[in-house]
């Protein structure tokens, strides 16, 4: 099976730079020939010296109609690539493209989108539908050249509503990854009580694990599955969700232990809407053995709920 990677984004979003500096530098990329299919010409081009060094062969294709099964089999037989990268045209419909009949030995290995943060607000206001179709199928979305005043949370919300499994990375105008901060949280962390939307549980769990001091005495409501490990007292349980950090193989259940004023009976993995008060207790770190302040929730309210359409959330 030949892995196929699609790099999507509008013109001048930085697709070629992403291929050169990020995708081609991954350890899991094969050392054999890489076939790069260019669906549009941008300002940045790969040098011939770079292509020779990376064993990269590029061919231009000007129309999605060219992508017939026969043509794809023909170039595969001629180039014998170890992997294929498609630098996608920003004006084409990615969802329609993915419905094409490709060779059986082509396997879609990843869809990555690149966004120019300098043009983000303008594009969202004037080309929203076209723009969103480039990103609704993506596994990873990199927003580069972000100014300090860019409303990152607004864009994150818009993307997550359409593509809840996508991982988003914001980069500054100098190319540095912007660390996740309070201003990026999808809820009002300064409020005494707030709700966590279904698609944002992964963000909540990750941030509360790393920065529990932000959440002390906050009253938080969220949709959860309930689980009680063997040996846990009957007045304790773990409300949480299955989270996919990277791919389907790493899906795990994540949650914080929660205490109740009384013993609770429930079916493991049953769905509920829960309201808790966030706190911490001194516990032994299972890795280091040292005492740490670990999150522990206190039950305030619990209601039965239906399972969501997507049971797995992302970070």
Phi then psi for residue 188, to 5 deg, are: -85, 95
Give the residues across from 238 on adjacent strands. Answer: 227
pLDDT at position 125, please? 81
pLDDT at position 285, please? 67
Arithmetic mean of pLDDT, 245-267: 87
- Read off the pLDDT of residues 83-130 as tens digits, 9 standing for 90 and up: 999 999 988 999 899 999 999 999 999 999 999 999 888 888 888 777
- Read off the pLDDT of residues 209-254 as tens digits, 9 standing for 90 and up: 988 999 999 999 999 999 999 999 999 999 999 988 666 677 899 9
Mean pLDDT, rounded, of the chain: 90
How many Cα atoms within 13 Å fall on the side-chain side of residue 71? 12
Provide Rg for the chain, Cα atoms: 23
Whole-angstrom distance, CA of residue 57 vs CA of residue 182:
44
Whole-angstrom distance, CA of residue 26 vs CA of residue 83:
13
- Residues 6 or more apart in contact with residue 1 via CB below 8 angstroms: 105, 106, 107
Exposure b/e, 98-124, CB count within 10 A at least 16 = b: eeeebbeebeebbbbbbbbbebbeebb
pLDDT of 265 strictly over 90: yes
- Read off the pLDDT of residues 2-33 as tens digits, 9 standing for 90 and up: 999 999 998 889 999 999 999 999 988 988 99
Query: Count of residues for the chain?
Result: 315
CA-to-CA dists, residue 304 to 229, 271, 272, 312, angstroms: 20, 6, 4, 19
pLDDT of 287 strictly over 70: no
- Read off the pLDDT of residues 191-206 as tens digits, 9 standing for 90 and up: 999 999 988 898 899 8
pLDDT at position 227, please? 95
Domains located in the chain, CATH noted? 2-179 (3.40.50.300), 185-314 (2.40.50.140)
């Amino acid at each position: 099976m030949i892995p196929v990677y699609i790099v999507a984004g509008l013109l001048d979003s930085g697709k070629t730079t992403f291929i050169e500096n990020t995708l081609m530098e991954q350890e899991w990329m094969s050392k054999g020939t890489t076939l790069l299919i260019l669906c549009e010409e941008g300002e940045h081009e790969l040098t011939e010296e770079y292509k020779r060094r990376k064993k990269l062969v590029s061919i231009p294709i000007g129309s999605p109609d060219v992508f017939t099964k026969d043509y794809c089999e023909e170039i595969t037989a001629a180039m014998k690539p170890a992997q294929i990268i498609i630098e996608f045209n920003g004006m084409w419909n990615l969802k329609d493209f993915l419905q094409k009949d490709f060779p059986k030995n082509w396997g879609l290995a990843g869809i990555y989108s690149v966004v120019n943060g300098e043009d983000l607000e303008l594009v969202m206001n004037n080309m929203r539908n076209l723009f969103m179709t480039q990103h609704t199928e993506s596994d990873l979305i990199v927003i580069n050249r972000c100014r300090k005043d860019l409303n990152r949370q607004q864009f994150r919300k818009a993307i997550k509503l359409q593509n809840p499994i996508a991982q988003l990375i914001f980069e500054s105008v100098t190319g540095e990854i912007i660390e996740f901060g309070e201003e990026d949280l999808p809820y009002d962390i300064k409020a005494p009580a707030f709700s966590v939307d279904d698609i944002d549980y992964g963000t909540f769990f990750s941030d509360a694990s790393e920065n529990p001091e932000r959440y002390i005495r906050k009253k938080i409501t969220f949709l959860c599955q309930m689980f009680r490990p063997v040996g846990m007292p009957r007045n304790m349980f773990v409300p949480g969700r299955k989270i996919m950090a990277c791919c389907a193989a790493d899906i795990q259940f994540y949650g914080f232990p929660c205490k109740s004023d009384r013993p609770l009976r429930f079916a493991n993995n049953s769905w509920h809407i829960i309201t808790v008060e966030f706190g911490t207790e001194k516990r032994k770190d299972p890795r280091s053995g040292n005492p740490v302040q670990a999150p522990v929730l206190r039950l305030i309210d619990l209601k039965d709920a239906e399972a969501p359409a997507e049971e797995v959330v992302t970070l």
